[in-house]
């Protein structure tokens, strides 16, 4: 006995109706009416399945199946998040929660006795309508109401007021913290949000780590001049340096010997930003990601050196400013092995890969042995109504998740520590 694919399909379709948008997408931020209605429906599904539904002070949802033959008092977590970005897709987060619900439901129905309790978890506000990873941080790191006082949502409303209005008094937030030693492991199934699996024709992504993310900016400074009265040879046009650097971005990962790294300029500010004024200042906002912190730092060094060279060539000044650098998070080797073995025994082709996007798994992995697996995203689309995954891939991924969770709940020796760094 394993998962019931039809039941899973029905649950995913139903969940997509909470916050459905005219464009065919989903808007379901945490603490919204759509989020509240989705939770009520999930609680009802649990009641139908005879599963205990519980929420903590951060709004995290736990759906529990008890161990019939307990070997220790540790619990296995599997989950993701119910919230979505504005006009996002029906699967980002939602897939992991519905698959986990199905896994817990199937385990309860299964004849094989569990040696550890299993909880399907839905973490609050992963997407950061108010504060990214709010739920997993409250559970793993602990959050106090004081830390949230200044936090406001996308619409400018205060987080603490939104929480209170949704029935989660912020003063109780410290109660959401769990003792990580009581969690045997955490496994998260998610859509890839990229096109790598689709391009390779593989069904399962075995995630080895969540990439580190460097954020920073290169600013070129020249001189503002009248675009009509200043001949080309008398200009100190900040755009010239910016253009030279931008043409080099695609080759930077290979230049530092890390062809899998990614560098993106997704936003540019031009000052003064008028059609008839030669740019005085061009601000390139950069996003750099890799599995290795050293690679990100090497790319930053390249950006700095090349920006200086282009600035010199065009009579400009250039600076690089790092705004943040989050470390890569490796996932637990034993969980990687379990995912590989489950995929192999199901005859599914898998691909070993990083996660280029952030997930609750990276927060949990700091204190709990954590694993992650992907299913393909059609065309790599996510955070959009175009987000799709073939249902046979969804079912296959959920079966792998079931096998991994069942093994964690029946193993004599679960993974005993967070992943080595």
Minimum CB separation of residue 345 from a second copy in Å reads 27
90 binds a second copy (CB under 8 A): no
Per-residue mark of binding to a second copy, 98-137 (x: CB under 8 A): ----------------------------------------
Choose, by CB under 8 A, the member of 56, 126, 221, 237 that binds a second copy: 237
End-to-end Cα, the chain, rounded Å: 37
CA distance 325 to 328: 9
Residue 216, SS3? strand
Give the nearer residue to a second copy in terms of CB position, either 218 or 408: 218
Per-residue mark of binding to a second copy, 252-281 (x: CB under 8 A): -x-----xx-xxxxxxx-x-xxxxxxxx--
Q: What angle is formed at CA 29 by the lines to CA 207 and CA 153, rounded to 5 degrees? A: 110
Q: Which helix (H) or strand (E) segment is 135 a member of?
A: helix 134-140
- Return the sign of the alpha-carbon dihedral for residues 352, 357, 360, 364: positive
Give the nearer residue to a second copy in terms of CB position, either 226 or 413: 226
Choose, by CB under 8 A, the member of 225, 297, 327, 411 that binds a second copy: 225
Give the nearer residue to a second copy in terms of CB position, either 86 or 333: 86
Nearest CA to 301 among 213, 218, 211, 220? Answer: 218
Choose, by CB under 8 A, the member of 75, 80, 382, 389 that binds a second copy: 382
Give the nearer residue to a second copy in terms of CB position, either 196 or 346: 196
Mind spelling out the 3-state secondary structure of 240-290?
HHHHHHHHHHHHHHHHCCCCCCEEEEEEEEEECCCCCEECCEEEEEEEEEE
Footprint of a second copy on 334-363 (CB under 8 A): 355-358
Q: What angle is formed at CA 113 by the lines to CA 109 and CA 117, rounded to 5 degrees? A: 85
Residue ranges of alpha helices (H) inside 328-374 are: 333-345, 360-364
Which residues contact a second copy by CB under 8 A? 192-196, 199, 211, 213, 215, 224-232, 234-235, 237, 239-240, 242-244, 246-247, 249-250, 253, 259-260, 262-268, 270, 272-279, 285-287, 289, 355-358, 380, 382-384
């Amino acid at each position: 006995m394993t998962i019931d694919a039809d039941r899973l399909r029905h649950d995913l379709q139903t969940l997509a109706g909470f916050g459905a948008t005219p464009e065919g997408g989903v808007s379901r931020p945490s603490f919204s009416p759509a989020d509240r209605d989705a939770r009520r429906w999930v609680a009802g599904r649990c009641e139908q399945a005879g599963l205990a539904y519980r929420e903590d002070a951060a709004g995290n949802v736990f759906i529990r199946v008890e161990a019939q033959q307990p070997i220790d008092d540790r619990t296995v977590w599997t989950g993701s998040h119910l919230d979505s970005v504005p006009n996002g897709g029906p699967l980002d987060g939602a897939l992991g929660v519905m698959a986990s619900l199905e896994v817990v439901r199937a385990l309860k129905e299964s004849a094989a006795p569990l040696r550890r309790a299993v909880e399907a978890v839905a973490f609050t506000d992963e997407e950061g309508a108010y504060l990214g990873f709010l739920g997993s941080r409250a559970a793993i790191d602990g959050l106090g109401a004081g830390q949230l006082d200044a936090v406001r949502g996308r619409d400018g409303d205060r987080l603490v007021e939104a929480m209170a209005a949704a029935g989660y008094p912020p003063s109780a937030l410290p109660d959401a913290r769990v003792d990580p030693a009581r969690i045997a492991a955490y496994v998260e199934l998610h859509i890839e949000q990229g096109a790598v699996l689709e391009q390779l024709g593989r069904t399962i992504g075995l995630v080895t780590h969540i990439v580190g993310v460097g954020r920073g900016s290169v600013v070129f400074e020249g001189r503002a001049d009248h675009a009509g009265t200043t001949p080309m040879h008398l200009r100190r046009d900040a755009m010239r340096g910016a253009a030279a650097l931008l043409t080099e971005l695609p080759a930077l990962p290979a230049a530092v010997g890390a062809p899998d790294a990614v560098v993106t300029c997704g936003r540019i500010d031009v000052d003064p930003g008028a059609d008839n004024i030669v740019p005085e200042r061009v601000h390139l906002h950069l996003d750099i990601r890799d599995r290795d912190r050293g690679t990100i730092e090497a790319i930053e060094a390249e950006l700095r050196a090349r920006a200086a060279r282009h600035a010199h060539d065009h009579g400009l000044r250039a600076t690089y400013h790092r705004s943040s650098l989050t470390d890569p998070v490796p996932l637990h080797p034993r969980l990687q092995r379990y995912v590989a073995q489950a995929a192999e025994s199901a005859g599914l082709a898998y691909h070993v890969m990083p996660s280029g996007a952030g997930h609750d798994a990276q927060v949990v992995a700091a204190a709990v042995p954590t694993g992650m697996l992907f299913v393909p995203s059609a065309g790599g689309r996510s955070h959009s109504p175009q987000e799709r995954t073939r249902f046979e891939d969804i079912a296959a991924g959920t079966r792998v998740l079931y096998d991994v969770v069942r093994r964690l709940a029946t193993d004599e020796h679960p993974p005993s520590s967070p992943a080595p760094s």
